[in-house]
Structure 1
Amino acid sequence: MIHQASQKKVRLIFFISVVVLVSAFIISVATGYISLSPSQLGRTIFGFGTSQENLILFSFRLPRILVTILAGMGLALSGAILQSVTRNPLSDPGILGINAGAGLMVVIYVMYFSSEATSFIYVLPFFALVGGILTTIVIYLLSFKRGEGVEPTRLVLVGVGLASAINGLIFTLTARLEEEQNAFIANWIAGRIWGDDWIFVLALLPWLLILSPIIFSKAHILNILNLNENVSVGLGVKVERERRLLLLIAVSLAAVSVSVSGGIAFIGLMAPHIARNLVGPRHQSFLPIAAVLGSILLLVSDTIGRSLLDPSGIPAGIIVTIIGAPYFLYLMAKR
């Protein structure tokens, strides 16, 4: 039984995180090439805005912000699962190369099909998922050593190396693309939030609505998988079956998130770590907070990027990398 004071602490931190997310949402909605004052924002939300204000809020900013929030949540949950299943605190879908594998399939789809949102947005997440799964299988096989299993440091090194190789292949393939397709892939690799229409929200939302409840229902399994494998088996957990299912969920969340948001790394590394430091390693406590923190990190990064360089802005992925790369090096040095 968790101490009542600990439960209150978890609820308080979760409430504060939600308040910060709502505040970041309001600031992001009002910030951009054309700013909206609080009065303009208020009257537009309640249906009294001008045609220009309605266009800015409901057609441009709101869908992009919701995609950013959902993608940040998906990447954070994916990273939390990967860290627990592999018992490796450095695991992240971007660092391990899962995002790169998904990106390779995005490039292949753009090369042979189309980059028009109406024709491919619902199909693209499945292509990205195939790329993420295949990359995960290769990483697992290259990291596995008979008698030792998957060693955490080896997993990271293999993931980083494979991600570099895949990114090299992506750059080679993009040289064959037309100018418009090349620009699209360049923006995707840089981590620019390109899903800025309601159709992208509708494409991403069902995955989170279906997979998130499964993750939270498996929180006790994730707690056990963090223990020694023999202990997990002794407690009655079918380790391999649960590990494969959770890995599939983690890869799915990462792949579909980056398919509409761009190649963004480090969200899945930072959000779970910060959440664990705040409320401890129990998954029932830190998973919801990690999801909210992932949304905050990506939303704030996108808002900063849009504000620093008008009108095109700096891709959110670059802002996240500026924050996340030193954090990753700190964790590596700490280990």
Structure 2
Amino acid sequence: MINSKKLRKAQMTIVIAAIALILVFVISVSTGFASLSPMRLWYTLFGQGTPREELILFTFRLPRILVTILAGMGLAISGAILQSITRNPLADPGILGINAGAGLAVVFFVMIFGGGSGSSIYFLPIFALGGGMLTAIIIYVLSYKKGEGIDPGKMLLVGVGLSAAISGAILTLASKIAREDYDFFANWMAGRIWGDDWVFVMALLPWLIILLPTIIRKSNILNTMSLNENLSIGLGVKVEKERYILLMIAVALAAASVSVSGGIAFVGLMAPHIARSLVGPRHQLFLPVAAMTGAILLLTADTIGRVILDPSGIPAGIIVSIIGAPYFMYLMSKNK
């Protein structure tokens, strides 16, 4: 049972996080080269805006913002799952190399289909998923100890090493991409939110609609697995089966997110930690907060990047890394 006082506090935190996300959304729409005031945003959303305002909102701003929000949620939930099933507070799809594996698959996608949009873009999350999944399986096998499960420290080292190796392969292959397609890939690697059309929203949205409710239903399993493996087995949890399923879900969320948002790290590291500090470790409470925190972090980073060097902007991935790298070092020193 959850203490009623803690439950009320958690519910209030969820409401505040939702309000904060709405405020960041309004600010993001209202700033930049093509801006839209909060009052005109309201009218335009309900079909009472001018043609120019409708063009700004529905063509330039809203698709990009929705992709950013969805990607931030996906990366945050992915990081939360990885941290729970490995009991490693430093686990993150970017740090562990899953994003790099997805990036390698994106290179192959660009080499086959090019960097343009169109119907082929729907295959990009599938390519990214395959690359991220293969990387996760390799990390899982190399960091697994029979009878003990995953070694969290070894998993981190294997992930960092594999990420470096894959990054080298990416750079080698990227040099063979046609010049017009290389610009697309370079922006992807830098973490620029390149999915600025409704087709990208539709490519990402189904993954979250299907996978997020599944994770919420498995909250109790995550609660026990994050504490002790033997305790989970004693409570009747099929640990190996559930860990494999949860790992695949985490990889799918991360790979689908970065496939349309770019190679963004640290969101999956920071958002779960912030959420736990606010509402505690119960997944029923902290997963919704982590999802909204991830969306807020990534949307804020993208908005700052657009405003600093408007109209070309600084990639959101760079802004997040500036914040995330010191935070990662702080966690490293804290968990020695």
The TM-score bracket by the shorter chain reads over 0.9
**Cα distance in 1 between the residues matched to 2:149 and 2:14:** 36
Q: How does 1:206-217 map to 2 (within 5 A)?
A: 206-217=206-217
Alpha-carbon offset, residue 146 of structure 1: 4.3
1:181-225 Cα deviation digits (max 9, x unpaired): 111110000000010111111111111111111000000000111
1:22-52 Cα deviation digits (max 9, x unpaired): 0000000111112223343343233232222
Q: How does 1:27-66 map to 2 (within 5 A)?
A: 27-66=27-66
CA RMSD of aligned residues (A): 1.2
Q: Is the 8 A contact 1:114 1:120 kept in 2?
A: no
| 1:190 aligns to 2:190 (yes or no) | yes
| 1:295 aligns to 2:295 (yes or no) | yes
Aligned to 1:244: 244
Q: How does 1:141-220 map to 2 (within 5 A)?
A: 141-146=141-146, 148-220=148-220
Aligned to 1:3: 3
**Cα distance in 1 between the residues matched to 2:244 and 2:260:** 25
| 1:99 aligns to 2:67 (yes or no) | no
**Cα distance in 1 between the residues matched to 2:329 and 2:152:** 16
* Aligned partner of residue 122 in structure 2, secondary structure: coil
Aligned to 1:89: 89
**Cα distance in 2 between the residues matched to 1:88 and 1:217:** 22
Aligned to 1:125: 125
**Cα distance in 2 between the residues matched to 1:207 and 1:165:** 28
| 1:234 aligns to 2:223 (yes or no) | no
Q: Is the 8 A contact 2:35 2:56 kept in 1?
A: no
**Cα distance in 2 between the residues matched to 1:45 and 1:236:** 49
Task: Give TM-score, length-normalised by structure 1.
Answer: 0.97
**Cα distance in 1 between the residues matched to 2:138 and 2:168:** 17
Aligned to 2:317: 317
Q: Is the 8 A contact 1:73 1:292 kept in 2?
A: yes
Q: Which moved more, 1:260-269 or 1:157-166?
A: 157-166
Give the unaligned 5+ runs of structure 1: none
| 1:223 aligns to 2:223 (yes or no) | yes
Alpha-carbon offset, residue 118 of structure 1: 1.0
Q: Is the 8 A contact 2:63 2:197 kept in 1?
A: yes
Alpha-carbon offset, residue 147 of structure 1: 5.4
Aligned to 1:308: 308
Q: Is the 8 A contact 2:106 2:127 kept in 1?
A: yes
**Cα distance in 1 between the residues matched to 2:239 and 2:39:** 55
**Cα distance in 1 between the residues matched to 2:121 and 2:77:** 22
**Cα distance in 2 between the residues matched to 1:35 and 1:226:** 44
**Cα distance in 2 between the residues matched to 1:276 and 1:43:** 37
Letter in 1 for 2:269: L
Give the unaligned 5+ runs of structure 2: none
Report runs of 4+ in structure 1 exceeding 4 Å deviation. none
* Percent of aligned positions that are identical: 67
1:80-130 Cα deviation digits (max 9, x unpaired): 000001111100000000000001001011112232221322111111111
**Cα distance in 2 between the residues matched to 1:253 and 1:73:** 9
Alpha-carbon offset, residue 228 of structure 1: 1.9
Q: Which moved more, 1:257-266 or 1:170-179?
A: 170-179
